[in-house]
Amino acid sequence: MAIKGVLKEELENSIRMQGKYEEELEKLPVGSLIKKKIKGHEYYYIVMREKGKVKFVYKGKEVSDALLEEYARAKELRAKYRKLLSQVKKQIKFLKGALRGQESI
């Protein structure tokens, strides 16, 4: 009985965690900052997907260091959070299965 209780609690924690990681991912700036070279000149764009299409938003010939840093950090965190989110989803699947008695515990 205590085992089931622990698993239930862990499942609740994981479900909550999934929501929190999804929230954190939504908070990150959309798209990635890229530099394009056109006719020998460099221009910055935010590249993103909108309704299944790739969209480029022009940001100028130069951008602030803060913006560069913001997008670099967002890229790093996005990769990290997606990996952790996938781990949490696997945990949820396992815990749900275990509570239904489909996994050996």
Partner 1 sequence: MPLYREFYFCGSDISALRTRDIDFLVSRNTKFDNKVDLPVLLEDLGFILDHSFPEGHVRLIHPELIIEFLVPEMGRGTSKPYPLPELGMNAQRLRFLDLLEGDTIIVEVSGLAVNLPHPVNFGLHKIMVSSRRTNVDKKAKDIQAGLEVLRLCVDNMDGQKLTESFRNISRKQRKRIIQSFEDNEAKDLLSVLKL
**Does the footprint of partner 1 cover residue 13 (CB under 8 A)?**
yes
Distances (CA, A) of 1 to 7, 11, 12, 101, 105: 10, 15, 17, 13, 12
First vs last C-alpha separation in the chain: 12
Where do the H-state alpha helices sit in the chain? Answer: 2-27, 65-100
- Provide, rounded to whole angstroms, the least separation between the CB of residue 51 and partner 1: 29
Q: Are 88 and 17 in contact (CB under 8 A)?
A: yes
The nearest distance, CB 100 to partner 1, in angstroms, is 17
Question: Do 95 and 7 meet the contact criterion of CB atoms below 8 Å apart?
Answer: yes
Residue 104 Cβ, how far from partner 1 at the closest point, in Å? 13
Whichever of 45 and 81 has its CB closer to partner 1, that residue is 81
**Binding region for partner 1 (CB under 8 A) out of 1-9, 37-45, 50-58, 64-72:** 1-9
Two structure tokens written together for 79: 């990769």
| Residues from 60 through 99 that contact partner 1 (CB under 8 A) | 77, 80-81, 83-84, 87-88, 91
The site for partner 1 (CB under 8 A) is made up of: 1-6, 8-10, 13-14, 16-17, 20-21, 24, 77, 80-81, 83-84, 87-88, 91
